[in-house]
């Protein structure tokens, strides 16, 4: 059955901001299905993140790409992205409110099985989905793509409910080896169900086709890697197939 992806802007208010999130669903499918939240890079909810939401809908999920900055803000350059990200991380309670409200919004979607919700995140968004897992939010699984692994909250043993997949570039100097090691120690102490996959030679931003040009423009060690992008997406698909089957 061919897919027919329907998209729309979903407006809501949370954490002191007016969010303009992006919903994608295959309207030809019937019945309830898993839902997946998508959390954006430091650039904001741009076309790359919306494309990922559509790709998830093509897999049979209902996807909600979350506007974590509010008002649909998308950075024009690294300086603006850093300012927007700093504002978000500088008010963690507001960021957490947006995480939780977006989860509730997706759980209430008429096409979604609320017992089977996952989340994926890129760069900043990777940090957000891992934070959601650390907080013990009721997610079946979360996937971080070239995301920051630093912790804003240390989970107690047994408190991490979500299964975790970290897709990490082996040459990512923005998320160095010591941060990866610290994350593994933290997850081991929390007795979390997690896996870290390291893709040899991949730099930060390996899933984003615009990363190489953005890196050159902004003087940052970013690069797209088509082969790793494809491999990590397959790893995500395999991960969710198992996580949702067990939920």
pLDDT value at residue 246: 75
pLDDT above 70: residue 13? yes
The pLDDT of residue 1 is above 60 = no
Helix (H, G, I), strand (E, B) or coil at 71: coil
Average pLDDT of the chain is: 96
Q: Percent of the chain, pLDDT > 90?
A: 98
**pLDDT above 70 covers what percent of the chain?**
98
Does the pLDDT at position 204 exceed 90?
Answer: yes
Give the Cα separation of 137 and 53 in Å (integer): 21
**Element housing 85 (H / E):** helix 78-89
What residues does each domain of the chain span? 5-246
Q: What does the block give as tokens for 17? A: 């901001």
pLDDT at 111: 97
Residue 38, classed as helix, strand or coil, is: strand
Question: What is the per-residue pLDDT for 220?
Answer: 95
Predicted pLDDT of residue 2: 62
Q: How does pLDDT run across 143-167, given as a tens digit for each residue? A: 999 999 999 999 999 999 999 999 9
Q: Which residues contact 129 (CB under 8 A, 6 or more apart)?
A: 37, 39, 119, 120, 121, 142, 143, 144, 147
pTM of the predicted structure, to 2 decimals:
0.96
Phi, psi of 207 (to 5 degrees): -90, -10
Q: What is the distance, to the nearest Å, from the Cα of residue 171 to the centroid of all Cα atoms in its chain? A: 20
| Structure confidence by residue, pLDDT tens digits, 74-83 | 999 999 999 9
CATH of the domain spanning 5-246, picked from 3.40.50.1820, 3.40.50.300, 3.30.43.10, 1.10.540.10: 3.40.50.1820
Query: For residue 32, what are its two tokens?
Result: 């309830």
In this predicted structure, the answer to whether residue 32 has a pLDDT above a threshold of 80 is yes
């Amino acid at each position: 059955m061919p897919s027919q992806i329907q998209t729309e802007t979903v407006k809501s208010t949370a954490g002191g901001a007016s969010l303009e999130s992006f919903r994608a669903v295959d309207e030809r499918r019937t019945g309830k299905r898993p839902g997946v939240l998508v959390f954006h890079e430091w650039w904001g909810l741009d076309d790359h993140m919306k494309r990922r939401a559509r790709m998830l809908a093509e897999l049979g999920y209902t996807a909600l790409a979350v506007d974590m900055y509010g008002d649909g803000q998308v950075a024009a350059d690294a300086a603006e992205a850093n300012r927007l990200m700093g504002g978000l991380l500088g008010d963690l309670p507001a960021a957490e409110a947006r995480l939780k409200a977006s989860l509730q919004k997706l759980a209430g979607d008429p096409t979604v099985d609320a017992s089977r919700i996952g989340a994926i995140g890129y760069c900043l968004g990777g940090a957000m989905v891992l934070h959601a897992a650390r907080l013990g939010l009721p997610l079946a699984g979360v996937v971080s793509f070239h995301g920051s692994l630093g912790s804003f909250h240390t989970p107690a043993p047994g408190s991490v409910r979500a299964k975790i997949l970290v897709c990490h570039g082996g040459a990512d100097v923005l998320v160095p080896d010591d941060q990866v090691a610290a994350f593994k120690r933290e997850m081991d102490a929390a007795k979390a169900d997690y896996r870290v996959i390291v893709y040899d030679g991949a730099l930060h931003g390996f899933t984003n086709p615009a990363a190489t040009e953005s890196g050159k423009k902004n003087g940052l060690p970013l690069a797209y890697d088509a082969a790793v992008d494809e491999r990590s997406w397959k790893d995500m698909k395999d991960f969710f197939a198992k996580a949702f089957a067990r939920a």
